[in-house]
Structure 1
Amino acid sequence: MDDSPEAVSALTAPEDLAEYGFWRELRRTTQARIGLGRSGDALPTARVLELRAAHAAARDAVHSPLDTADLVRRVDECGLGVAVEVPSRAADRAEYLRRPDLGRLPAPGSLAEIPRGAADIGFVLADGLSPRALTDHGPSMLAALIRELAQRYSIAAPVIATQARVALGDHIAEAMGVSTVVVLIGERPGLSVADSLGIYLTHLPRPGRTDAERNCVSNIHPPEGLDYVRAARVAAALISGARTLGRSGVDLKDTSGTDLPAAMAGAEAEPLG
């Protein structure tokens, strides 16, 4: 869209044009909708159409089905072994959205195909509330995590979870036999970003773990959001800290940008009950 003062002048009241340059500079630093101008008592038509387009993109991101066959192929190229697919108990997208509890539980018998081992790390790639985010960023994010972690830890074959919430990863991790699970999941779309990926880390995973016992790396969607390399480094620091501290969650802080070990922030805390 043409964002020049000349183009905006037809959409913005004359008294607002003096401030237009100020808002234009601020808008360059954020995806938030600020300094949109006005047309009479309403937003300019162009801004209203942008909002409607963003809302449509967010709805599409939620409802578009995950192409699991293509995702399995791309994940297999990462070299961890053939990915197993695990659906949740939500039968379809409509039920998944109405019943979050079903997205946290595996479908009956769906864990039987997961090979059990004793790897350090297990990866679960989950569609979540934005299958588009997993499609756009999941395989590349997984590859960056493997590069960061493979020299230090053993890694199990990945699992692709559909109609999934974060807690489904605990059931999958227990079946895998891993000591730390890393869930890559599509985050809830907003009106600024429809394809943001999140990483949820749980150490010593088991069914019944709460969100307070996890750590999250959010807003992964380069080039505007966090890039894969930086996200992988943060996740690796949290994994190292969790394994040192003996737990993940609120006692574990991200210190990847400092010289401190990740576990130090929680080193004096009492063990979780």
Structure 2
Amino acid sequence: MTTPAPRSLRDLRHLTPARVGLGRTGASLPTQALLNFALDHARARDAVHAGFDPPAIAAGLDAIGLRTLLVSSQAGSRAEYLKRPDLGRKLDATSEHLLGSEPHGPCALAIVIGDGLSPSAVKAHAVELVRNLVLKLGAIEPGPAVVASGARVALGDQIGALLGARMVVVLIGERPGLSAPDSLGAYITFSPGAERSDAERNCVSNIHASGLSYDEAAFRIGWLVREGLARRLTGVALKDESGLQARLAPESTRRVT
């Protein structure tokens, strides 16, 4: 029997964007590794401070067929948003009045797109993810889509409550990492309202070119939305078993046919 060759750190580096096996020069990193670190750090900082273009996002959503509303949090500037997370969790007075006076009935699902800590991620991925998601929702018809500036995750609770939504999905730019400055996250909350805590949400994260694809992320989010509505809950009480469903689907199809 042939003994397989031992794996090296170089092999591991091909499997992950994490910084492993960088080597050293004396007591320091090699020049190239140091330059790569500085570049990734700069990209992460740029992602946090990138501009956000709500009308462009709204135009993309309109092309999908979703009616879109633009709102803002109480954070008056990017600097204030970063220093005062609490202000990003509440709508400003104008936005609250807009949603409160919006002619609509209760809806099953509200989709909120917020800039979060990486507007770059939202610009790169949000519209295409929504395009894939609406195909996975089946008979669930989303209500108005909301594009929110200066948004934290919990802003979706207030938005969902004002829209009379049974479920809210918040797509938001995640805190940039040194290997993924444009990662998008999705937070799913049943019966959104001011009393909701993070333990009552489900999260699908790492949606970007080197992470979850749009199709896979939309499949997981769609599963959580359907199951959350059926069971009337989300969060720690709702385990993501979408992978099990995906594995069983081909076999179920063969039995039916």
Relative to the length of structure 2, the TM-score reads 0.89
- Does the 8 Å CA contact 2:153/2:172 hold for their aligned counterparts? yes
Matched, 1:98 2:83: yes
Find the aligned partners of 2:52 and 2:225 in 1 and give their Cα distance: 28
Find the aligned partners of 2:61 and 2:230 in 1 and give their Cα distance: 29
Among 76, 79, 87, which residue is 2:65 paired with?
79
Q: Which secondary structure does the structure 1 equivalent of 2:242 belong to?
A: coil
Find the aligned partners of 2:18 and 2:152 in 1 and give their Cα distance: 27
Counterpart of 1:186? 173
Among 194, 208, 230, which residue is 1:221 paired with?
208
Question: Equivalences for 1:15-164 in 2 at 5 Å?
Answer: 22-81=8-67, 83-114=68-99, 115=102, 116-149=104-137, 151-164=138-151
Gaps of 5+ in 1: 1-18, 261-273
- Does the 8 Å CA contact 2:204/2:221 hold for their aligned counterparts? yes
- The Cα shift of 1:148 comes to 0.7
Find the aligned partners of 1:213 and 1:125 in 2 and give their Cα distance: 19
Q: Which secondary structure does the structure 2 equivalent of 1:258 belong to?
A: helix
Runs of 4+ in 1 over 6 A off after TM superposition: none
Counterpart of 1:171? 158
- Does the 8 Å CA contact 2:108/2:140 hold for their aligned counterparts? yes
- Does the 8 Å CA contact 2:54/2:148 hold for their aligned counterparts? no
Residue identity matched to 1:164: A
Residue identity matched to 1:155: P
- Return the structure number with greater relative CO, CA threshold 8 A, min gap 6: 2
Percent identity of the aligned residues?
45
Residue identity matched to 1:198: G
Closer/same/farther in 2, CA of residues 69 and 33 from structure 1, 3 Å limit: same
- The Cα shift of 1:239 comes to 1.3
Find the aligned partners of 2:244 and 2:55 in 1 and give their Cα distance: 41
- The Cα shift of 1:259 comes to 4.2
**Alignment RMSD (CA, Å):** 1.5
Aligned length: 238
> Between Structure 1 and Structure 2, which shows a larger proportion of strand residues?
2
Counterpart of 1:206? 193
> Between Structure 1 and Structure 2, which shows a larger proportion of helix residues?
2
Q: Which secondary structure does the structure 1 equivalent of 2:244 belong to?
A: coil
- The Cα shift of 1:126 comes to 0.5
Q: Which secondary structure does the structure 2 equivalent of 1:43 belong to?
A: coil
Gaps of 5+ in 2: 1-5, 247-257
Q: Which secondary structure does the structure 1 equivalent of 2:38 belong to?
A: helix
- The Cα shift of 1:190 comes to 0.7
Relative to the length of structure 1, the TM-score reads 0.84
